[in-house]
């Protein structure tokens, strides 16, 4: 009987080993999920219910690609019932600001989009805000700066003093407009003013649409001036004075989620550890952020940031 028992035991062992391996993989997967949840939220509880997505716009708006990806990610997740966008930005390039605004408008058609303003949500930062259905700001938030700016350095006089000059061959009178090595002509200024005026008009039209305010009513406030959050509420540029927590509570209310909703942040962008170390070192000792690319062309930006 003993040899027969050993034979049966050996036949059962492969099944036992496979079962053990499957169980180990399952446990490993759960550990990964719980660890990821803890890192992101500080809690070991993994929620599978309805959630509120949090988007963050910080610093100068120089590129739209990453934010557009995050917006699309939240738009595609069915368990994210509303999105709160936290804006702490003086604005930036016209193109990136308009691209992000366009994607936010599409998101707002499918899910409630609530805006929370931080220290600054000016110019292009405010442009993004008007895509939302309700805007919260702190009483001391700096916002507004509804305008466009374009600047050109001119080194012609300095170059003349050191005996340096340039020769330009061009196909038309305006091909080198904005050159730093020649005089700025009246015709140059008139052409560029037309560009600035049209881009500014696009900004005002977006505000009129988002805030449901006639352009005529907006005219006194779109000359580049800044407002505090409290002043902005008085003229109708924002809806409520409140914090990020207030904006989240409102988003939970309009979607029927409980008062303590689960928050979802976009997956952090992977960065090279060496690049990150060098960037942090330069930021700390020199106060220079090389991650910001130099922007050319018209800007929706508050330059005093």
Annotation says 270 is catalytic: no
Task: Round to whole Å and give the CA distance between 92 and 123.
Answer: 8
Task: Round to whole Å and give the CA distance between 231 and 223.
Answer: 15
Q: Which of 64, 89, 97, 123 is catalytic?
A: 123
Whether the CB-CB separation of 268 and 73 falls below 8 Å is answered with: no
Strand partners, 122: 144
Q: Which of 9, 12, 175, 201 is catalytic?
A: 175
Task: Round to whole Å and give the CA distance between 304 and 301.
Answer: 9
Task: Round to whole Å and give the CA distance between 85 and 132.
Answer: 9
Annotation says 175 is catalytic: yes
Helices (H), 149-236: 156-161, 186-211, 215-218, 229-235
How far apart, in Å, are the Cα atoms of 221 and each of 116, 125, 160, 235, 304?
21, 16, 42, 8, 18
DSSP secondary structure of 1-12:
-HHHHHHHHHHH
Active site residues: 123, 175
């Amino acid at each position: 009987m003993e040899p027969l028992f050993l034979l049966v035991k050996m036949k059962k062992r492969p099944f036992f080993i496979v079962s053990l391996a499957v169980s180990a993989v399952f446990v490993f997967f759960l550990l990964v999920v719980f660890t990821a949840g803890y890192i992101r939220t500080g809690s070991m509880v993994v929620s599978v219910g309805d959630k509120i997505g949090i988007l963050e716009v910080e610093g100068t708006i120089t590129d739209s690609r990453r934010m557009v990806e995050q917006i699309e990610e939240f738009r595609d997740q069915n368990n994210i019932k509303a999105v709160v966008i936290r804006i702490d930005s003086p604005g930036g390039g016209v193109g990136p600001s308009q691209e992000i605004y366009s994607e936010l408008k599409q998101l707002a058609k499918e899910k409630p989009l609530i805006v929370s303003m931080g220290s600054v949500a000016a110019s292009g930062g405010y442009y993004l805000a008007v895509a939302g259905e309700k805007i919260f700001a702190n009483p001391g938030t700096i916002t507004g700066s509804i305008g466009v700016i374009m600047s050109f350095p001119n080194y012609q006089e300095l170059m003349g003093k050191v005996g340096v000059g340039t020769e330009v061959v061009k196909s038309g009178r305006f091909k080198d407009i904005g050159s730093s090595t020649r005089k700025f002509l009246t015709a140059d200024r008139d052409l560029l003013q037309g560009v600035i005026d049209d881009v500014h008009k696009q900004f005002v039209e977006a505000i009129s649409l988002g805030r449901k305010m006639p352009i005529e009513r907006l005219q006194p406030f779109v000359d580049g001036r800044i407002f505090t959050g409290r002043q902005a509420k008085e003229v109708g540029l924002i809806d409520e004075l409140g914090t990020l927590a207030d904006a989240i509570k409102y988003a939970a209310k309009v979607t029927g989620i409980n008062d303590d909703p689960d928050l979802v942040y976009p997956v952090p962008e992977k960065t090279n550890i060496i690049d990150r170390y060098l960037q942090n070192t330069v930021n700390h000792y020199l106060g220079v952020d090389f991650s910001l690319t130099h922007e050319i062309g018209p800007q929706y930006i508050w330059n005093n940031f």
